[in-house]
């Protein structure tokens, strides 16, 4: 038996315009141009260019308040919304924070062959038969971005049989693999770290030098002891004196453990495009938006002319009315996009200004120890915005300062209590921890327990597990692995 029940509930839904703003807020400066170009292509009512009059349009849209036109179909079109000059143009210049003198330079992009393409070119130089070339291509295709082949050769043999119709065996594949391992960069196509380092040593100009021979012997016969820095065991096993061991170890540590070099397999230079610029003007710190965050956009004048033509024509013409309804939708979309860009600028500036005010001492000279504990809620409360909004800004934006480019998330950190009862940023504690490790005697590195004691002596109330966590975050190995001869 079916029953009907009435229930009432509250739910919050984002309008399409709010969703558009959220997406725009997350877009980094480097990608904003592409997003604007995309909108220009799909909406003919949106144009790129400077405003034609000093009046700024779209100001009637209050910050954070998107009109929800389009939620319902209107029977009649209000021509007054579009015939005037109100939306004739809108110059997006960040409310005075845009620098008109800044040149709109093209961002340089370095183009080059990928690692796999370079290896295939080297493969083509070898005098191999068609069968060996197929095996070589399969091996190169199995090389991961860091330069290693981690797939088992037996699996590669199966791939060749099923996908290429090539029946082969382990000996033949290993023979071709050795040829690929002779390619540049040295160490490429190794199956593990041990093989990678040995391949590089064998490619040295003078492999017969004692330090290289000793280094190969260490990696070949004492690899486990080497990774654990059990140098006394290595000396006993290979009968090496202190000086010979030190030279061999130094030779090994200068090798490249990741011959692929980069995470995406492309040989290219990446450029960080900051969203904000920090400068000192008359002794005061001032923030400005990168000009790429301030595209000049306006609503198409020709679309307003369409409404003008419609206003003078027969209002009962169904086709004209359908046309003007379509045009109105495009005009609304253009206004919404312009407003979303403007709100993006305002939100970025408000968030960055709040961070600047909160971390003012740091921005004066870039001293990391002057960073205050700061969490997302601190900034959200300061600018009266949601934590998720601040998070979106902090996770995708950066600022150019006199002492480097910093991602905004760099300025957020938790607090650590001190003996004086104050909280300091965990970045300050990490900085002190790094200083202690840098200044230690590498023959007798400081254990985590000793680091805890030294930090406590400096007034930082910190537990051993926290020191271990911070040490790992700083990519500092345990004391045993920091030991040097």
At residue 9, the pLDDT reads 53
| Per-residue pLDDT tens over the stretch 153-178 | 999 999 888 888 888 899 999 999 99
Look at residue 260 and tell me if it is in a domain: no
**Same-domain check for residues 157 and 59:** no
Between 40 and 304, the higher pLDDT residue: 40
Q: Residue 17 and residue 5: Cα distance in Å, rounded?
A: 34
Distance of alpha carbon 144 from alpha carbon 192, whole angstroms? 12
Rounded to whole angstroms, the Cα distance separating 277 from 55 reads 28
Residue closest to 118 by CA, chosen among 270, 262, 267: 267
pLDDT confidence band for 7 (50 / 70 / 90):
low
Q: Is residue 4 part of a domain?
A: no
Which stretch, 22-26, 105-109, 198-202, has highest mean pLDDT? Answer: 198-202
pLDDT, residue 375, reads: 84
Q: Domain check: are 288 and 233 in the same one?
A: no
Q: Which residue has the higher pLDDT, 310 or 421?
A: 310
Residue 197: pLDDT band with limits 50, 70, 90 = very high
97 vs 296, more confident: 296
Q: Chain-wide mean pLDDT for the chain? A: 76
User: In the chain, pLDDT over 90 holds for what percent of residues?
Assistant: 15
Q: Is residue 290 part of a domain?
A: yes
Identify whether 380 is part of a domain. yes
Q: Is the pLDDT of residue 18 over 90?
A: no
pLDDT band at 316 (very low <50, low <70, confident <90, very high): low
* Segment 332-349 mean pLDDT: 86
How many Å apart are CA 377 and CA 416, to the nearest integer? 17
What are the angstrom distances between the C-alpha of 147 and each of 12, 121, 391? Answer: 49, 16, 35
pLDDT above 70 covers a percentage of the chain that reads: 75
Residues 6+ apart with CB under 8 A from 434: 474, 476
* 55-64, 152-161, 296-305, 306-315: least confidently modelled range: 55-64
pLDDT score, position 356: 92
Q: 57 CB contacts (<8 Å, ≥6 apart)?
A: 51, 85, 86, 87, 88, 89, 90, 298, 299
Decide which of 247 and 77 is more confident: 247
Q: Are residues 421 and 334 in the same domain?
A: no
Distance of alpha carbon 180 from alpha carbon 124, whole angstroms: 11
Statement to judge: residues 408 and 452 lie in one domain: no
Answer for the pair 341, 19: CB distance below 8 angstroms, yes or no.
no
Q: Is the pLDDT of residue 188 over 90?
A: yes
- Summarised one tens digit per residue, pLDDT across range 264-287 is 444 444 456 788 889 888 888 888
Strands (DSSP E) along 282-403, which ranges?
Answer: 284-289, 297-299, 398-401
pLDDT digits (tens, 9 = 90+) for 439-459: 888 888 888 888 888 888 887
Closest CA to 403 of 353, 355, 364: 364
Domain boundary pick from 412, 444, 476 = 412
pLDDT bracket for residue 111 (50, 70, 90): very low
In the block, which residue shows the tokens 């809108």?
A: 90
Record the tokens describing residue 153, joined without a space: 């050769």
261 lies in some domain: no
Q: Which of 253, 286, 306 delimits the end of a domain? A: 253
Pairing state between β 276-281 and 398-401? parallel
What is the per-residue pLDDT for 72? 38
pLDDT of residue 42: 86
Domain residue limits at 450: 414-485
Examine the domain organization and report whether 247 and 198 are in the same domain. Answer: yes
Q: Examine the fold and report which residue of 253, 278, 311 is the final residue of a domain before the chain moves on.
A: 253
In this model, does residue 99 exceed pLDDT 60?
no
pLDDT at 351: 92
- Mean predicted confidence (pLDDT) in 458-468: 82
Give the pLDDT confidence score for residue 218 in this predicted structure.
Answer: 92
pLDDT tens per residue, range 352-367: 999 999 999 889 888 8
296 plus 225 within the same structural domain:
no
Question: Is the same domain home to 289 and 249?
Answer: no
């Amino acid at each position: 038996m079916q029953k009907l029940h009435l229930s009432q509930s509250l739910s919050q839904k984002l309008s399409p315009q709010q969703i558009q703003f959220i997406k725009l807020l997350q877009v980094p400066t480097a990608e904003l141009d592409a997003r604007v170009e995309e909108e220009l292509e799909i909406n003919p009512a949106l144009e790129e260019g400077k405003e034609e009059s000093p009046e700024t349009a779209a100001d009637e849209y209050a910050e954070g308040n998107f009109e929800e036109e389009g939620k319902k179909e209107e029977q009649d079109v209000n021509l007054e919304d579009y015939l005037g000059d109100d939306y004739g143009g809108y110059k997006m210049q960040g409310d005075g924070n845009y620098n008109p003198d800044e040149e709109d330079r093209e961002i340089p992009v370095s183009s080059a062959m990928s690692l796999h393409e370079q290896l295939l070119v080297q493969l083509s130089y070898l005098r191999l038969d068609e069968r060996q070339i197929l095996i070589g291509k399969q091996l190169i295709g199995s090389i991961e971005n860091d330069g290693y082949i981690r797939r088992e050769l037996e699996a590669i043999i199966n791939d060749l049989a099923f996908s290429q119709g090539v029946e082969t065996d382990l000996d033949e594949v290993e023979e071709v693999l050795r040829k690929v391992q002779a390619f540049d960069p040295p160490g490429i196509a190794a199956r593990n770290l041990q093989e990678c380092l040995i391949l590089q040593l064998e490619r040295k100009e003078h492999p017969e030098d004692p330090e290289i021979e000793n280094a190969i012997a260490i990696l070949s016969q004492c690899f486990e002891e080497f990774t654990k820095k059990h140098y006394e065991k290595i000396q006993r096993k290979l009968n090496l004196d202190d000086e010979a061991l030190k030279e061999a170890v130094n030779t090994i540590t200068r090798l490249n453990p990741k011959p692929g070099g980069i995470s995406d397999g492309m040989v290219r230079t990446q450029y960080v495009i900051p969203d904000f610029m920090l400068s000192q003007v008359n002794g005061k710190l001032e923030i400005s938006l990168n000009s790429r965050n301030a595209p000049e956009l306006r609503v198409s004048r020709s679309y307003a002319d369409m409404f003008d033509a419609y206003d003078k024509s027969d209002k009962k013409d169904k086709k004209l009315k359908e046309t003007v309804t379509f045009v109105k939708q495009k005009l609304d979309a253009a206004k919404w996009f312009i407003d979303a860009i403007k709100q993006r600028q305002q939100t970025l500036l408000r968030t960055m200004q709040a961070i600047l005010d909160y971390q003012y001492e740091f921005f004066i000279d870039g001293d990391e120890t002057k960073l205050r504990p700061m969490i997302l809620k601190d900034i959200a409360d300061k600018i009266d915005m949601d934590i998720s909004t601040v998070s979106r800004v902090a996770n995708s934006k950066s600022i150019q300062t006199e002492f480097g480019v910093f991602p905004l998330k760099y300025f957020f950190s938790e607090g650590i209590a001190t003996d004086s009862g104050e909280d300091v940023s965990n970045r300050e504690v990490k900085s002190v921890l790094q200083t202690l490790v840098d200044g230690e005697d590498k023959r007798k590195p400081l254990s985590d327990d000793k680091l805890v004691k030294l930090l406590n002596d400096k007034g930082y109330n910190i537990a051993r597990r926290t020191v271990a966590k911070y040490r790992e975050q700083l990519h500092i190995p345990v004391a045993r692995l920091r030991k040097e001869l």
